[in-house]
């Protein structure tokens, strides 16, 4: 075999992923793979919040960052389709677009952080 990996599992074939779906899914994984972005999604798992509230929650957890940095990460998460947003007066309120992502994150935690 020479160290080559062989797919002996029908998982990819069984999922029916096409190339575009694999690319989109990989982009979502890339987005949540960053520790700060993953932390933001975890904060938003508790409910919708504006950037100032997200920053305050992260600081309570010992994460030291700035509002502009949070805003940049929120923009990426929004662009990747992970977050939804709405205007409320002069604030933008963010939330997780599809809560199945939170179920998936819980499964990943159970598997990799037992």
82 found inside a domain:
yes
Model pTM? 0.81
The contacts found for 37-42 with CB under 8 angstroms, 24 or more apart, are 37/73, 37/76, 37/77, 38/105, 39/63, 40/70, 40/73, 40/74, 40/77, 41/77, 41/82, 41/83, 41/96, 41/101, 41/102, 41/105, 42/105
Q: The domain spanning residue 86 has which CATH number?
A: 1.10.10.10
28 found inside a domain:
yes
Per-residue pLDDT in tens (0 to 9) along the chain, 114 residues:
455 545 444 455 656 778 888 888 899 999 999 999 999 999 999 999 999 999 999 999 999 999 999 999 999 999 999 999 999 999 999 999 999 999 999 998 899 887
105 found inside a domain:
yes
2 found inside a domain:
no
Predicted pLDDT at 15: 67
99 found inside a domain:
yes
How many separate domains does the chain show?
Answer: 1
Predicted pLDDT at 1: 46
Predicted pLDDT at 20: 85
13 found inside a domain:
no
31 found inside a domain:
yes
Predicted pLDDT at 10: 46
Predicted pLDDT at 9: 44
10 found inside a domain:
no
Supply the range of the domain harboring residue 48.
18-112
Q: Mind spelling out the 3-state secondary structure of the chain? A: CCCCCCCCCCHHHHHCCCHHHHHHHHHHHHHHHCHHHHHHHHHHCCCCEEHHHHHHHHHHCCCCCCHHHHHHHHHHHHHCCCEEEEEECCEEEEEECCCHHHHHHHHHHHHHCC
């Amino acid at each position: 075999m020479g160290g080559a990996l062989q797919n002996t599992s029908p998982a990819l074939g069984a999922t029916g992923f096409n190339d575009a779906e694999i690319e989109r899914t990989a982009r979502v994984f890339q987005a949540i793979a960053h520790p700060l972005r993953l932390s933001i999604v975890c904060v938003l798992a508790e409910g919708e919040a504006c950037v100032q509230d997200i920053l305050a929650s992260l600081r309570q957890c010992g994460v030291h960052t700035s509002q502009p940095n949070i805003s940049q990460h929120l923009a990426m998460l929004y662009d990747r389709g992970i977050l939804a947003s709405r205007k409320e007066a002069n604030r933008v309120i963010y939330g997780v677009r599809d809560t199945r992502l939170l179920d998936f994150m819980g499964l990943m935690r159970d598997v990799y952080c037992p």
